[in-house]
Amino acid sequence: MQSQSLFTRMTGKNVLMSFTGPFDTEVLSIFGKNIENSISQNKKLNKTIFKVFIELAQNVSYYSLEKEMTKKGEKAGVGTFIIQDFNDHYYFILGNPIDERHEAILRDKCSRINAYDRDGLRAYKRELRKLPPGERGTGNIGLVQAALVSRNPLDYTFIEINDNQAFYIVAVKINKN
């Protein structure tokens, strides 16, 4: 991932959609619909981006360290998503603050996901599904699913906020062809 500031990424010329705020069910529904209907003319491609969005956005909602109470009284994780448009691909970026202790776990998961081929990823997903809910934490199935759906490795990085918190960014490339 290039070291361009996240803010510039968010408002840049090739940004089709971006948001920072609480990822509650309404965000998933409104933005999900807009992604599915207005990103491109290619419905199949929009569907792929939609699936990646849902998988990763749910992780923000559940696991972001920063929580915000919405007007409906729903407690949702706060994060950021960005969809960028390039010549031959879309780039979906998602970020949220995490507990610094989760960085090593997430790093390991992303690195494992990137090391697997498709069959390996499917097997890994099955393995994760067998875990008791309490151990699933940090959104690993969503990450596997995003890699499977996009057919590309995950880009990821961690930015230190302070001794206890880091900002976790994961990005997925979605090819146009």
User: Could you list the residues that contact another protein (CB under 8 A)?
Assistant: 5-8, 10-13, 15-22, 26-27, 30-31, 33-34, 36-38, 68-71, 80, 95, 97, 159, 161, 167
The helix-helix angle for 43-63 and 25-38 (nearest 10°) equals 160
Q: What is the DSSP string of 49-79?
A: HHHHHHHHHHHHHHH-S-EEE-TTS-EEEEE
Q: Residue 151 region, left (φ>0) first, then alpha (ψ -120 to 50), else beta?
A: left
| Six token digits for residue 109 | 């998961």
In whole angstroms, the minimum distance from the beta carbon of 154 to another protein comes to 20
Between 44 and 130, CB nearer to another protein? 44
In whole angstroms, the minimum distance from the beta carbon of 92 to another protein comes to 14
In whole angstroms, the minimum distance from the beta carbon of 164 to another protein comes to 14
Between 33 and 129, CB nearer to another protein? 33
